[in-house]
Structure 1
Amino acid sequence: MPSPSRRPAGIFTVVPCLFWLYAIPAAAQESTPDAGPPPSDAGPPPATGSSEVQPSADDMADIEAALGKDKAAAGTETNPAPAPASSGVEVSTSSVRVGANNQWLDLSFVLDMALAAFTSDEPLQQGGHDPNTNGFNFQQLELSVRSVVDPYLRFDSNIVFAPAGVEIEEVYVTTLDLPANLQVRAGQFLTRFGRLNSTHPHAWDFADQPFAIGRVFGGEGNRGLGLEASWLTPLPWYVELVGSATDATGEGTARSFLGGGGDRVVSPLDFQFTGAVKQFFPISDDLSLMWGLSSATGPNSTGYRNYTNVFGTDIYLKYRPTTVASDTIVALQAELLYRRRQVPNDVLTDYNGYAQVLWRFAKRWATAARYEFGTPAHDQDGHVAADPLDPEWTDTRQRISANVTFWPTEFSRLRLQAATDRAGWRDEPDYSVFLTLEAVVGAHGAHAF
């Protein structure tokens, strides 16, 4: 770019020409009103009543040449040639265009960190990204990459950076154009069991994962490599049927199944199968309800052809005024999980669940409270049994949490949370306090209802 104090050289040619063509002849006409007609090569005379003088052919050639130089100089200085489509990366405010076919990638980073304090030396946190030590906790840095592959497939991935290393949390493709309201996705994904399992920490109303999810499925939630199909039924109300088949292994993702055993697949019975029914009911313009039923079944590691079955129900009731201008949101969310596991010569059962309420009382402020519980494993006779997964879990555990959240903008969040954790097998309850910070950059879509 030229310096502001300099002008392209062609301007010095155009200005004197225009001055000579218009100013000097006009002054001459005013001083010599009786002058004769212009020379024959000066072009046609001006129209009657006009004081303009038309330039000659040579003058017009000089002006056009000077303007051409200016245009060429401006083009080279202010309009650089674009790079070929097959090279380089073009960045917008929230997307990146790459490749020969100029595909757009939606990129986002989500940072979650916390300052935590516990009264116990061994906190009973179940989530893989929960704050779990006194002091500063780096929960995760999530990189999300999304793009439409072609008219038939969409690509989604979530890569998590944590102190323990880099983890591919999800990476899958989803169909876009199947008939009959069908949709299929393939890859590694969080199964759609219940409501919370398929979401990420930045979508939660609390700083940590309910221990029901961690105890039953693992610290990372239930996910696996596999295939999922869903169908939006043509019923008068919203009903979606979901079914998936995934690997039953994964220490942090298939805790009630094969876990970290890594057993090989020798038949379809070695997969974990998950099914769910999702229903939506618009009760009124301001009140809506979602209700789901879920089940998951797969082999466990206690013996040959021993299986685990998990059944769950979830509910989400949301009040948000739409008929009047208001920032108020009141949401009730609850899940109940029943687990049944075959072990050598016995069957173990237990219940786990949580219920929480959120009140967003201002545009940037909200408060929430949550109650969680988990029962010890019982045998077929109803007695408390030794649990191979949680041998210390010999009594009921309950946890109560409350928090207040402040959003400086939609891209950042501060949350102060306190909890009391009462495990029946411990003499004293555990108390905890978290102060968390979340920051989002890039393109990040709206959260699900």
Structure 2
Amino acid sequence: MKPNIIVSAVGVVLCLTSPGVAVPTHAADAGDIQKLKKELRQIKAGYQTRIEQLEQRLDDAETANDETNDKMDDLAVEVSQQGNQKAANTFNPGIGVVLTGKYLHQDPSAYQFAPPGFVLGGEPGPGAPGFELGESELNLSANVDDYFYGSVTLSFSKTASVEEAYLQTIALPYGFSAKLGRFFSSIGYLSSRHTHTDDFAMRPLAYQVFLGGQYGDDGVELSWLAPTDLYWESGMEFYRGDTFPAAGAANHGQGVTTVFTHIGGDINDSQSWRAGISWLGAKVENRAGNHYGESFSGASDLLIADFIWKWAPLGNPLIHNAKFQGEYFQRNERGHFRDSSGQVNALDSGQNGWYLQGIYQFMPKWRVGLRYEELDAGNPGSVFAGSTLDPVNVAPKQASLMFDWSNSEFSRMRFQYSRDESSSLAANLWILQYIAAFGAHGAHTF
């Protein structure tokens, strides 16, 4: 900048002293020449003063700019440090706890949950009478990086166990997603959901006898979300095959395969729906029966059809909302069954079950629900009389009525009455249940 100013000033001087400058002819005498020289000296002095002023302003501007740059550098360091701290906090896992418990009164006191004709797995039934801590959970979850999300859920009741522990992709193209680890299956409607999100204190009978409450194991899932106006998700899962209804980790530790598809959408501003169909195929090795010494080996195929409809006025569920839900289960098992005496017989059985339930929030925080369900154990044949597979002419069914109050989305108190005729001895069940969630808690799926 300085050289340009000086060059400009010199140019002006040269221009004024060059022959091309128009000078009157009558000023050629000595007096006029002296006058012109004086004027020229004044002009040069004025330009020199102006140049010095511009140079001083330039120096001041450069000094101020250097100070500003220093401040910006300091600010950049501070912002970088804050960003690093924020990023570190972002990658810390969110920690959430779900606490559940209940009080159960059953009449008669000798009642035991044991639907005739069905092998039971997991922890079926309403639980022990009296006060009891339910299936409480500790969850840790976070984005591992820009490609993976991780979640670990520990379950606490009578014992502690790893309920879920998996990695899930968040950046696969074309609507694909993969899940690796231990997780609940996406078959049906309730299987992938934790029990504290249920609308009743007990899972439907069909879930208890066909899946032990819900199916989960070590494996991998690949799903695809279609680019359609309607919600449409499909997927396949491959599991180890250690948990009910499978057993023995058959087929070299790849004993279970599932396929599912779910589709849904909005009917209008107030209504939405979802329907699905799923299949679980298991290779079973020495699955224990309900009686000592019993076991089954063979193939187990389970088909599930599910549907749910939800209503909330203009999409606002705060005052009133409702939902209607149902599922149908059909299971076929083929193989060999060993009874408690050691006798082995070929088995080819068909069983089914279903439930329908409705929930209505009639005022803020208060809901009422009704559920009815039935099971059909089929007739495997007289050779299985007296064994776990003997239906003993009982048609299992149950009806439940529930009221619950939710102070917020994180706490709920529930009263439920069930008339249980699913076992040889019918019973009346009264349940008072509490549910509380605190800490990080993700939104529930549809």
TM-score by length of 1: 0.70
**Pair 393,332 (structure 1): closer, same or farther in 2 beyond 3 Å:** farther
- Tell me what 1:21 maps to: none
Matches within 5 A, 1:25-424: 103-120=91-108, 121-124=110-113, 128=123, 131-163=126-158, 165-219=159-213, 221-250=214-243, 254-255=244-245, 257-258=246-247, 262-263=248-249, 265-266=251-252, 270-301=254-285, 306-322=298-314, 327-344=319-336, 345-379=346-380, 390-391=389-390, 394-423=393-422
State the shift of 1:214 in Å: 1.4
Task: Quickly say closer, same or farther: Cα 1:326–1:434, change in 2 above 3 A.
Answer: closer
Cα deviation, residue 236, structure 1: 3.6
Pick closer, same or farther for the CA change 1:367–1:324 going to 2, 3 Å. closer
CA distance in 1, matches of 2:309, 2:407: 26
Cα distance, 1:346 vs structure 2 = 3.4
Q: Secondary structure at the match of 2:134?
A: strand
Q: Show structure 2 runs of 5+ residues with no match.
A: 1-80, 115-119, 287-294, 337-345
Cα 1:106/1:365, change in 2 over 3 Å? same
1:388 to 1:294, Cα distance in 2 relative to 1, 3 A:
farther
What are the superposed Cα offsets for residues 221-269 of structure 1, whole Å, 9 maximum, x if unpaired?
211100000001123422111110001112xxx23x22xxx355437xx
Task: Show the counterpart of 1:67.
Answer: none
Kept in 2: contact 1:377–1:384 (CA 8 A): no
Q: Distance in 2 between matches of 1:388 and 1:310?
A: 22
Structure 1 stretch displaced more, 231-240 or 332-341: 231-240
Partner of 2:33: none
Q: Distance in 1 between matches of 2:333 and 2:317?
A: 50
Change (3 A) 1:386 1:218: farther
1:131–1:139 Cα contact (<8 Å) kept: no
Shift of residue 323, structure 1, vs aligned partner: 6.3
Contact 1:210 1:354 (C-alpha < 8 Å) held by counterparts: yes
Are the aligned partners of 1:118 and 1:133 in contact in 2 as well (CA < 8 Å)?
A: no
Residues 324, 435 of structure 1: alpha-carbon distance in 2 compared, 3 angstrom cutoff: closer
Q: 1:216 to 1:389 in 2, by over 3 A?
A: farther
Letter in structure 1 aligned against 2:113:
L
The percent identity for this pair of structures is 24
Q: CA deviation at 1:443?
A: 1.1
Letter in 1 for 2:445: A
Counterpart amino acid of residue 294 in structure 1 = S
Assess, with a 3 A threshold, how the Cα gap between structure 1 residues 309 and 321 changes in structure 2: closer, same or farther. same
Q: Alpha-carbon deviation of 1:326? A: 5.7
How far did 1:392 drift? 5.7
TM-aligned CA distance change 1:304 to 1:222, over 3 Å: closer
Counterparts in 2 of 1:404 and 1:287: CA distance versus 1, 3 Å: same
Deviation at 1:429, TM superposition (A): 1.9
Once the 2 structures are TM-superposed, how far is the Cα of residue 441 of structure 1 from its aligned partner? Answer: 1.0
2:427 to 426, 430, 434: 430
Residue 128 (structure 1) shift:
2.7
Structure whose residues are more often helix by fraction? 2
Contact 2:240 2:255 (8 Å CA) reproduced: yes
CA distance in 2, matches of 1:185, 1:325: 32
Change (3 A) 1:431 1:248: same
CA contact (8 A) 1:331 1:358 kept: yes
Two-structure CA RMSD over aligned residues (Å): 2.9
Cα separation, 1, equivalents of 2:303 and 2:322: 27
Structure 1's 181 and 102: CA in aligned 2 closer, same or farther, altered over 3 A? closer
Letter in 2 for 1:306: G
Report the Cα offset of residue 395 of structure 1.
Answer: 2.4
Contact kept, 8 Å, 2:111 with 2:427, in 1: the verdict is no
Match of 1:54 in 2: none
Q: State how far apart, in whole Å, the 1-side matches of 2:326 and 2:285 are.
A: 30
* Maintained 8 Å contact 1:123/1:132: no
Q: Residue 443 in 1 paired to residue 432 in 2?
A: no
Matched with 2:41 is: none
- Code of the residue aligned with 1:211 in structure 2: it is L
Q: Assess, with a 3 A threshold, how the Cα gap between structure 1 residues 102 and 242 changes in structure 2: closer, same or farther.
A: closer
CA radius of gyration, larger in: 2
Q: Which residue of 2 aligns with 1:12?
A: none
Distance 1:445 1:101, change over 3 A: closer
Partner SS, residue 212 of structure 1: helix
Kindly provide the CA deviation profile for residues 264-292 of structure 1, in whole angstroms up to 9, marking residues without a partner as x. Answer: 5437xx42001111101211111111000
TM-score normalized by structure 2?
Answer: 0.71
* Contact 2:415–2:430 under 8 Å retained in 1: yes
Change (3 A) 1:396 1:179: same
Other structure's SS at 1:266 match: helix
131-140 vs 169-178, greater mean Cα deviation: 131-140
What secondary structure does 2:313 align onto? coil
Structure 1 residue 132 displacement after superposition: 1.7
Check 1:286–1:144 CA distance in 2 against 1; reply closer, same or farther (3 A cut).
Answer: same
Partner Cα distance (2:436, 2:153) in 1: 16
Structure-1 separation of matches of 2:392 and 2:211: 16
Deviation at 1:130, TM superposition (A): 5.7
Displacement of 1:295: 0.3
